[in-house]
Structure 1
Amino acid sequence: MHISTDRSEAPTAIRTNLCAIFVSLELSRSSWLITSLSPGNGEKLSKHAVRGGDVTGLLARLSWLREKALSRTERHFPIIVIQEAGLDGFWLHRVLQAEGIESHVVDPASIATSRRRRRAKTDRIDGEAVVRTLLAYKRGEPRVCAMVKAPSRKEEDRRRITRERKVLTGERVSHVNRIKGLLFAQGIFGYEPLRRDRRARLEERRTGDGRALPAHLKAQICRELDRLELILEQVKTVETERAALLAEAEDAATPTSAAMLLDVKGIGPEFAAMLWSEGLFRHFDNRRQVAAYAGLAQTPWQSGSVDREQGVSKSGNPRLRTTMVQLAWLWLRHQPQSALALWFRGRVEQNGGRMRKTMIVALARKLLVALWKYVTAGIVIEGVVMKAS
């Protein structure tokens, strides 16, 4: 094998004109690892740890890095900080911005990693990788990573209503199924815990062999009903808050996304609030960004003669994606003459009635893009039926 000898024997380091102090934060409950690359320090990455949650210690360390760079170069440099999106949310990102520090939050899944089967992974290695990613991002390299756009405090607080309701409805289903399962084991069928007369009907029930409910079983079911009734009351409270939020949106001088969505037949308060709080409050440059944010973008696999689709990416907002698939099924019922519903039926008939589940995901993607155009540009979906005034 011929090896070129044009290059120097000594390794040549890649030099970049660093005009800032680049810092990555690896956050955990016990400690925060600070990895930094400063001007005047060569290519050496310095690492320092502070106690988890110690904002004062973090700011002191960043100030020390700025003073150290000043003593080496006699120049003042700004600090650019990056952290991975995770359980810590965006509170630290907002603290850094309030201190006048440029801060970024990156999607950890978008950072390139080694494809070895057994790759080394430590906080130190991850910190260095995130610093290199930040350097490439600031150099303007395309698609080097995906930065997360942090919502405002108001936007973040507003979406808690729909998220809490989803959690409560899941708990409601769990309690209902548990009660039915306990009664089913005794040969009792047809009992509905969500009826208002649930306790009176429980007294009337007899086991499959004609006996009254055992004392301990009845006490257990009564405690389950207590928890179920508490959840039902909390669901009503959350729905009241949601109704007040939507009423405020409808009364606004400028129509909001939620108010416009409520005008479309088939979209009720839950879907309107979910779409508004989870996705359509954001700014998107094009339809591809809209689909990618919901995880409904296509994922091709092309290499040589191989060319196939892997399905949707599922890398976006899971709540928005689930809502859109549910809304797509309801769209076929409430908007049967719309252009999107006709497109869906045509494609299914073309495939001999098969691939309905695959095509419903495609319809969810098209519907989300169409609703985004409707709330941002006022483009009404072709053939859609609006609610009566």
Structure 2
Amino acid sequence: MQNPTSSTNINKNTLPRVIKLGIDVHASTYVVVIKVDSSAPARAKKMKPEKFLRWVHELRGQCEELHSCYEAGPFGYSLHRKLSAMGVNNYVIRPINWDTHGQKVKTDARDAYQMALALDGYLRGNDRSFTVVRVPSEAEEHKRSLTRLRQTFVKERARSAKRGLSMGLYYERPLPSGWWKPLNWAKLIEELDEFIILLLEPLRASCQHFDQLLKDVEAQMAQLEPQAQLPKGMGMVLYEQIEREICDWNRFENRTQISSYTGLCPSEDTSANRRFQGSINKHGNRRLRHMLVESVWLLIRWNPGYVAIAKWQSRLDSAKATKASRKKIVVAIARQFAVDWWRVRTGQVTAESLGLAMKIAN
């Protein structure tokens, strides 16, 4: 095998101290750019995953420190764990648009090159070179994957149900929202033409299939923490989804970090004496964001004593409140609830001190 550092201008009699790798990961190939000490990044290499791991293993014995980074994506964290096991200090980073100058040229080699430069800057102390993604433990990852699978089933059931609604409208026979459920379907069989029933039957079977898969997954989730304490109005499934998306509440050191992670903070455009705050930046975990908003709608109904809700209750009940303004208020409460629930889960405050009525999950 070719010497891993032969393409860089270094003294072959002296081992490099620090080597940095920028890796653009794909299913069948990895594109890698190597940067040795303070030298310029070398030309990109394309390798099969097996060859890459052998190359890294050899490279690790030829330097004092070996660092690498790659973007989080559909391939999970298995590569990170393999690199860490070999003694590589690897970072999984948030995906970035590396075309910062708007050249409209994007290649794997360019991405890997920019990652190598960003990694070099990060190691030199520029913690804004990229955002490091927390790698969950395998147990946390398995639990989270189960709840995400449930979300997939919800979407698939909704997709089939909407196709049925569309079919009914096409033939001028509007259907109820839960048309595929047993009671509604029994009535529709008597009212609809045979041809429409023939079209709807496969969609109904699809809805029922995913509905059963949902129940099976939710049953598994409910068995893990049957005695969990949760706010009144929040179901066990929603509680578990939030817990599994967060993985570990102690990962956040302050309220700013948890707020930022939700993506519910307002966007901002400030210059000189001008300041403008717009809609939420959505810079965070989108799944968690939707769960928090759903939680707040439930808390408004079942937990009105919660301090964040009490603060906004008069505006929520106002006759002048529009649908859009209520949504904005719910988003503000959701951001506050994320912070407050973090404080509760880390033992900083009690739920009762925040006005949250609690219950024990069945």
Q: Distance in 1 between matches of 2:183 and 2:316?
A: 45
What is the count of residue pairs matched by the alignment?
Answer: 340
Q: Distance in 1 between matches of 2:269 and 2:259?
A: 18
Residue type of the alignment partner of 1:89: G
Q: Distance in 2 between matches of 1:179 and 1:66?
A: 58
Decide which moves more: 270-279 or 168-177: 168-177
Aligned counterpart in structure 2 of residue 25 of structure 1, from 23, 26, 37: 23
Cα distance, 1:187 vs. partner?
4.1
Contact 1:158/1:277 (8 A) holds in 2: yes
SS of alignment partner, residue 326 of structure 1: helix
Contact 1:280/1:372 (8 A) holds in 2: no
Matched, 1:205 2:202: no
Match of 1:241 in 2: 220
Cα distance, 1:28 vs. partner?
2.1
Matched, 1:226 2:205: yes
Match of 2:238 in 1: 271
Aligned counterpart in structure 2 of residue 368 of structure 1, from 322, 327, 338: 338
Residue type of the alignment partner of 2:210: I
Matched, 1:125 2:110: yes
Aligned counterpart in structure 1 of residue 297 of structure 2, from 326, 329, 333: 329
User: Larger radius of gyration, structure 1 or 2?
Assistant: 1
* Residue pairs, 1:1-389, within 5 angstroms: 19-39=17-37, 42-51=39-48, 54-55=49-50, 57-66=51-60, 70=62, 76-109=63-96, 114=100, 116-189=101-174, 192-198=178-184, 200-206=186-192, 212-214=193-195, 217-247=196-226, 250=227, 259-260=228-229, 262=230, 264-279=231-246, 281-282=248-249, 283-346=251-314, 353=321, 355-377=325-347, 379-381=349-351, 382-387=354-359
**Change beyond 3 A, Cα 1:142–1:30:** closer
Residue type of the alignment partner of 2:78: W
Q: Distance in 1 between matches of 2:349 and 2:130?
A: 32
Cα distance, 1:130 vs. partner?
0.9
Cα distance, 1:268 vs. partner?
0.9
Contact 2:99/2:105 (8 A) holds in 1: no
**Change beyond 3 A, Cα 1:222–1:277:** same
Residue type of the alignment partner of 1:213: E
Q: Which runs of 5+ in 2 are unaligned?
A: 1-15
Match of 2:8 in 1: none
Q: TM-score with structure 1 length normalisation?
A: 0.79
SS of alignment partner, residue 377 of structure 1: coil
Cα distance, 1:316 vs. partner?
0.6
Contact 1:38/1:65 (8 A) holds in 2: no
Q: Distance in 2 between matches of 1:119 and 1:190?
A: 47
Match of 2:10 in 1: none
**Change beyond 3 A, Cα 1:21–1:388:** closer
Cα distance, 1:368 vs. partner?
0.7
Q: Distance in 2 between matches of 1:85 and 1:218?
A: 45
Cα distance, 1:171 vs. partner?
1.8
**Change beyond 3 A, Cα 1:188–1:291:** same
Q: TM-score with structure 2 length normalisation?
A: 0.85
Q: Distance in 1 between matches of 2:30 and 2:40?
A: 22
Task: Give the superposed CA RMSD.
Answer: 2.6
Q: Which digits, 9 at most, give the CA deviation of each residue in 1:133-184, with x for residues without a partner?
A: 1111112224332101111111111012221222212222222232233334
SS of alignment partner, residue 160 of structure 1: helix
Q: Distance in 1 between matches of 2:321 and 2:184?
A: 43
Q: Distance in 1 between matches of 2:165 and 2:106?
A: 47
Q: Distance in 1 between matches of 2:239 and 2:356?
A: 16
Decide which moves more: 285-294 or 175-184: 175-184
Residue type of the alignment partner of 1:373: R
**Change beyond 3 A, Cα 1:95–1:307:** same
Higher RCO structure, 1 or 2 (CA under 8 Å, sep 6+):
2
Q: Distance in 1 between matches of 2:28 and 2:360?
A: 57
Cα distance, 1:308 vs. partner?
0.7
Cα distance, 1:119 vs. partner?
4.5
Residue type of the alignment partner of 2:300: L
Residue type of the alignment partner of 1:221: L
Q: Distance in 1 between matches of 2:77 and 2:169?
A: 47
Q: Distance in 2 between matches of 1:171 and 1:353?
A: 34
Percent identity of paired positions between Structure 1 and Structure 2: 25
Q: Which digits, 9 at most, give the CA deviation of each residue in 1:276-306, with x for residues without a partner?
A: 0011524111111111111122332111232
Q: Which runs of 5+ in 1 are unaligned?
A: 1-17, 71-75, 207-211, 251-258
Q: Distance in 2 between matches of 1:281 and 1:341?
A: 26
